Amino acid sequence: MQTQDRSTASNCPIIRETLQNAITASQNHLLSIQYPDGYWWAVLESNVTITAEVVLLHKIWGTDKTRPLHKVETYLRNEQREHGGWELYYGDGGELSTSVEAYMALRLLGVPASDPALLKAKEFILERGGISKTRIFTKFHLALIGCYDWQGIPSIPPAIMLLPDNFPVTIYEMSSWARGSTVPLLIVFDKKPIYLTEPGINLDELYAEGVENVRYELPKSGDWADLFVGLDKGFKFAEVSNLMPLREAGLKAAEKWVLERQEATGDWGGIIPAMLNSLLALRALHYDPCDPIVDRGLQAVDRFAVETEEIYWIQPCVSPVWDTALVMRALVESGMEPNRPELVRAGEWLLDKQILDYGDWAVKNKKGKPGAWAFEFDNRFYPDVDDSAVVVMALDAVTLPDEELKRSAIARTLKWILSMQCKEGGWAAFDLDNNQDWLNAIPYGDLKAMIDPNTADVTARVLEMSGRCDLSLGSFALRRALAYLIKEQEQDGSWFGRWGVNYIYGTSGAISALALIATESHISNIERGAAWLLSCQNSDGGWGETCQSYNDPSLKGQGDSTASQTAWALAGLMAAVEASTTVAGSTLTPETLSAIERGIEYLIATQRSDGTWDESYFTGTGFPCHFYLKYHLYQQHFPLTALGRYQKLMSNPPNCPS
């Protein structure tokens, strides 16, 4: 799907009134959904496994009767596709592990195996190899209720909790999300509990080879990672023989770690996997359901729920800080006065959310001082670089009553971000030099998300922050960051997108950064990136990219057009246009302006009468190839940002006759 060839740029045919009407409608919608405290917050959607695992959690704790779990049945039935399975992301054709967990949840909710929907799901699951071919975490959840044997689940020595910080391998070499999930799993994997549920179920019908023929063992991959499979056999022998060294001390340390990291609101890490695993650990340790720690934890899970008259489901996370900062940027960039009361309330809310406590990041970062932001309402242990950089840009764009307070907050954040620069020159999301890739080979790391290395998109965000807010990173840090970002550019001109789908996201961010801070020195990199974006414009004028591009890079930049991905591509192209007009010898092609115009036309044409856009596709990334997200505000604020930047660009149109 290529952009149509046009030999000359049009004479700016988009009527200014039409453009302004689209901007105003979008602004009015966003203002109408602002919360009274000043923040914006919309639903964050993933696949159905999160909800299925919450059903299992409540069945295990016996708290299922106090939640409207009967509505989950309707939700899961609605999400089942015609082929019988459930999807990892919209339109993927169905995914095995996701489907097994949805099937499990429906059985736990009392749906019989003879139900037509489950018969159809069973056929889908068996055709793909059944339970034995699912991921480790699916098997783990099944083992909790006796539907899979613990022998096929990896063992993790609890003694790893006792390793000193300066040891070559500790839990802090895992990504923050892997760490928050793994520490409680040390307890659960050690205890190997099997819980009786009401109703009691088995899933024998989902073993393609027949349940009597199942081999409960870790799969081998045929490479050096099989070393871990051999080690696992040794660990299991030590468990059975009661020879596991420092077992009790390790379990006590894991329990202490889990308890210390619970927020006052009950959350752990602000993400459902860490919250569920922590509650499972407490259950394995025989905590009482009425214990305040457990009660707070269960209530925290409840706050992630979305309930209507008919359905009930659970979000994987909540994103108010991220949503608020991005909406603020969109409103200002689309022409709203920076001292407007709604923006002032939002800015003051963000200032109040700055984290001034030390978190897990400080274990490897001994020099940094607190001053960052997290993604969620409450998450003091895990602020992140990406959110912090976006918040800085949002605050810089607005005018607050106490500008000195704002500047102090920004200064603290800049120092913290600089202290988080990795050895390779870039920035990761949550930790410093969290890059030991071999951890992805351990048996239970089959999501390949055990580490948090520096990435092009987060690095670009920091560089964009520096340029847009006139904040100096220092020449040494800047040179290293630029070198890293350029090294990450692919041969075709694109950049990989770790946190958004995918190359469109990464390329847009990199161009936007380079155009602000390295225009002349890196104009060729900017132009190559822009050329790649031009090459994948769809015939309808928009851009889209399938999540499958993470599995198959030949699909990069290919997919049905979406509002959010079109807005990303436009942001990158408009940044390239502005950069090109300031560099001697750089020529702006008419085709570029024509492509931008067609992209804007696509956004205007697909905007609904209430000022909103709609898209079904998932354009956010949790773990590439394994877990994707749909931010329900992405399709609103990113298009508004693009429209606002286009309006500014056309106020002095390059190569466009006046």
Please give the distance of CA 19 from its chain centroid, rounded to a whole number. Answer: 32
Separation of alpha carbons 296 and 291, rounded Å: 9
Task: Convert the pLDDT of each residue in 77-109 to its tens digit.
Answer: 999 999 999 999 999 999 999 999 999 999 999
Does residue 464 register a pLDDT over 80? yes
User: Considering only 10-14, 345-349, 466-470, which range has the smallest mean pLDDT?
Assistant: 10-14
- Please tell me the predicted confidence (pLDDT) of residue 652: 78
Phi, psi (rounded to 5 degrees) for 630: -120, 105
Query: pLDDT-derived band of residue 222, with 50, 70 and 90 as boundaries?
Result: low
Give the number of other Cβ atoms within 10 Å of residue 181's Cβ: 25
Q: Which of 386, 431, 446, 457 is catalytic?
A: 386
Tell me the CA end-to-end span of the chain in Å, nearest whole number: 32
Residue bearing tokens 């003879």 = 114
Q: Using DSSP, how many helices (H) and how many strands (E) does the chain show? A: 22, 5
Please state whether the peptide bond connecting residue 199 to the residue before it is cis, i.e. omega within 30 degrees of 0. Answer: yes
pLDDT of residue 587: 60
* pLDDT score at 225: 67
d(CA 157, CA 190): 8
- The full 3-state SS of 62-130, as one line of letters, equals CCHHHCCCHHHHHHHHHHCCCCCCCCCCCCCCCCHHHHHHHHHHHHHCCCCCCCHHHHHHHHHHHHCCC
pLDDT of residue 477: 97
Residue 304 pLDDT grade (very low, low, confident, very high; cuts 50, 70, 90): very high
**Over the chain, what is the mean pLDDT?**
93
State the burial class of residue 474 (Cβ atoms within 10 Å of its Cβ: 0-12, 13-18, 19+). Answer: exposed
pLDDT of amino acid 643: 98
**Is the pLDDT score of 657 beyond 70?**
no
The pTM (predicted TM-score) of the whole model is 0.94
What angle, 0 to 180 degrees and rounded to 10, lies between the N-to-C axes of helices 136-143 and 96-108? 20
Does 4 score more than 50 pLDDT?
A: no
Give the span between the Cα atoms of 462 and 473, in whole angstroms.
9
Contact 569, 602 (CB under 8 A): no
pLDDT tens-digit profile of 244-290? 789 999 999 999 999 999 999 999 999 999 999 999 999 999 999 99
pLDDT one-digit tens code per residue, 143-171: 999 999 999 999 889 999 999 888 888 99
488 pLDDT band, cuts 50/70/90, is: very high
Q: How far apart are CA 83 and CA 78, in angstroms?
A: 13
Residue 218 has what pLDDT?
81
Res 315 pLDDT > 60: yes
Could you tell me the two tokens for 397?
């764009």
pLDDT at position 153: 93
Tell whether the model's pLDDT for residue 42 goes beyond 70: yes
Q: Output the six-digit token pair for 91.
A: 């339109």
Helix boundaries (H) for 303-397: 320-333, 341-352, 385-397
Q: What is the mean predicted confidence (pLDDT) over 326-336?
A: 98
- Band of pLDDT at residue 8, cut at 50, 70 and 90: very low
What is the reported pLDDT for 514?
97
- At a CB cut-off of 8 Å and minimum separation 6, what does 168 contact? none
The pLDDT score that the predictor gives to residue 236 is 73
Beta bridge partners of 543: 562
Confidence of residue 131 (pLDDT cuts 50, 70, 90): very high
Q: Are 505 and 497 in contact (CB under 8 A)?
A: yes
Q: What digits encode the pLDDT tens for the residues 591-643?
A: 899 999 999 999 999 999 999 999 999 999 999 999 999 999 999 999 999 99
> Which strand (E) or helix (H) includes residue 306?
strand 305-307
pLDDT recorded at residue 582: 80
State percent of the chain over pLDDT 70.
96
Q: How far is CA 652 from the centre of its chain?
A: 37
Classify residue 220 by its DSSP letter: P
How far is 600 from 543, CA to CA, in rounded Å? Answer: 11
Distance CA 210, CA 214 (A): 7
| 360 noted as active-site residue | no
Q: Read off the tokens for 310.
A: 């008919």
Q: Which residues have C-beta within 8 Å of that of residue 92, sequence separation ≥ 6?
A: 547, 548
Fold of 47-218+228-314: Glycosyltransferase (1.50.10)
